[in-house]
Chains A and B, each alone.
Chain A
Amino acid sequence: MITHNFDYKRPATLQEALGLLSDGSSKVLAGGMSLIPLMKLRLAAPECLVDIGRIADLNYIREENGAIHLGATVTHYQLENSPLLRSKCPLLSETAAHIGDPMVRNRGTLGGSVAHADPASDYPASLLALEADVVIAGASGDRTVTFADFIVETFTTVLEPGEIVREIVVPVEHSSAGYCYEKVVQPASGFAIVGIALRIRKEAGRIAEAHIGVTGLASKAFRAVAAEQALMNGSADPAAAKNAGALIADGVDANSDLYASPEYRNHLARIHGARAIAIALSRAQ
C-alpha cells in the first residue's frame, strides 16, 4: 500500500518535462492508473516522478489535416465522450468505454496506457486497427512511429529514456465504415482476456478494407493479417465473418492465466473475432 520514497516534479511545459527526464532516472507519471498500483506493491520504485498531468498543451482532441490528434494526457473518459471521436473515430470511443471502471477512466490517460504497453490493455487493438501513429517527444525533437512499430514486446516500447509520448494520431473515419471493439473481460481485474478491434469498409456489397487488431491474446497486440486478407474483396456476409474470425488466432502463441488457457484464449479470439466482424459489418454502410 505504501510506495518507496521518490522525488516529484510537476513541470508546466513539455520542454520542462523533457529537461527533467534527461538524466534517465525519472519516470513519467500521467494518470497513474498502472504505475501507482505497481508502486504500492513495491514492484515499481522510480527515483523521481515527472508528473505531466498539468501540462496544458498535452490535453487535446482536435482534427487537423484529415486526422485526429490526441494529446497524451487525454483521459479515457474524454475519449469515450468526445463528440468528435464519436462521430469521426467511434472505434476509439468504444474502446475507451471498455477500460477499467468509471474512476479509472476519469484518471487514466491514453498516453500513459500506450507507454505502459500492458499486453492485456485495450487500446493497442484499436490503435493497430486504426493504423495510428505515435508522436514521441525527446530532447532532440519529435519523432513519429507507427503504433505497430511503437510496441516492441510485453511492457516494452520503442520509447527511449527521456522520451515522452506526445500524441497519438488516428485517421478520420469515413462515416460509412463499420467498427467494433469486442472484449472478453477477466472478471477479477477487468483486463482483456481477448480484445478485438475492427474497422471495415464496404463497397458495393464487398469488403474494400479490413483492419483487425487483437490484444490480450499474445505477448503483444498484433494485426490479424490472415483474417484481414480473408475478408478483403470478399462478400460482406455472416459466413465471411465466421471464416475470417477463424483465422484470427492462427499461429499465435497465446497467453494463459487463471481464467483462460492458451487454447481457450485462441478459441475466444476466433469466436469473438467472428462476432466483432459481424457487428462491424452490420454497422458499415
Chain B
Amino acid sequence: MSTSKRKHRNVGIIGCGMSVFSSHREEVNQPEMIHEAVAEALADAGITLADVDCVVHGNMELFEMVHQPDMWHSLGSGVVGKSGLRLTTGGTTGMTLACAADNLVASGLHDVVLAIGFEKLQEGHTTGGISNMADPLWGRKLQAGALTGTTAQAMIDEFGKERACDAAMKLRIIMDEHAALNDKAHRSFGLERRYIKELTENSPPLVGELRMIHMCSQSDGACAVIFAAPHKIKEWNANPAWVVDHETVHREENVVFTGTKSTHRVASERLFARNGITNPREQLDVFEMYDPSAWWGLDWLREFLLLEGDEHLKMVENDEIGIQGTFPVNPSGGVMASNPIGATALVRVAEAALQVRGTAGRHQVPKEVKRALASGFGGTLWSVLMLLARDEPQGASQ
C-alpha cells in the first residue's frame, strides 16, 4: 500500500457540474435533478453527451427506496447506449465514484467517464436511512443516524470546554462565510463571529454537545464530474485538474471510537508517502474536506494534516483555514453548507478540481492552486482521499 504505483495513463478532470442544492426540489424528479448536474458538467467541459463513453453512478438505495436506481436515472444520466457502472460505499460513495472513474480512464477501458453522485434526501428519512446501516440484530434499535457527541466530548476533555466549543463554532462560522460565496451552497445563515458563544448556547442539542448548528445540512442534489484521458484533453484543449493519486481506508464493522489511529490519519500517511508530501500545509494549497459536523471537521484537521497537540485549533483560531488564509479549507462552505449524501464526496472532488482549474468563481482562493486535496467520509469511520494537481503527473507508463 505504501509502495509507489505507476499509473497506466494519466487522467484529468475536465468538467464539473452540480444541481441546485436545496431541501426543497419538488419541481424535479430524481433523473431530472441528475440531469441538471450532467448538463452543467458537459457544458463546463465543452463537450456533448456523444463524447462520453461510460457513466458511473452512485447513491444509497434506502434513502429514496429505489432499487438499482441507475436504471430509472438513465432518463437523465445519458447512459443509454453507453457503458455504465454503479458503485456505492455509503457517505464515501462520491469519492468511490471518483476513484472508479479514474481507474476506468487510467486502465484504457474508457477515454471519457462521467461520474454521477446523487441523493434526494427530501424523498426519504435521512436519519432513519442511516440507522439502517447498523446490523439488524444488534445496533439498529440504538443507532441515531450519523449523530454522535463523542468527538465533542473528547475535545472538551482535551482542550477545555470554552476553547473547544469556541473553536468548533469558529470553524462553523468560517464555513458559513465560505458558503455565502458559493452560489450552489444549500444554506448560508450569515452567522456572525461576535455571537460565537450565543450561537452555541442557543442551538438545540442533538447528542451531547453536538448541536443542531454544528451539523451538516440535509440536501437534495446531484454532482457530475467528467474524467478524460490525455489525448482527449489535448484534442479538446481542455483545462484539466489532473488526478495524481487516491487512497481508500475502511474500518471494521463495529464502531469503536478509540483504540486505533484514525482512518483519516492512515489515509493521509499513505497518500502523502507515495507522493512526496512531507509538509502538507506547505505542499497543498487547498483542502476540500467531507466535514459532517463542526466538531468532526475540527478534530479531523489534525488527523488529515498529521498534526499534533492543538495545532489544528490554532489553525482555526488564527483564521488560517479561511479562504484568505494560508491553508484554505472548504472554500465551498463544505458539507455543513450542502449535503446530498451520495453526491457529497464527489462535490469535494469537483470543488477541489474547480480550485485547481481556477474556475471556482467567487469562492476561488486568492492564491495559486497547484495541488488540492479532497476527502470523503462514510461507513464506520471510512476515509478516502484524492490528490489533484495543476501540472500533469510524470511517470505514467503510457
| A-B complex is real | no
Binding site for B on A (CB under 8 A): none
- Measured CB to CB, the residues of B under 8 A from A are none
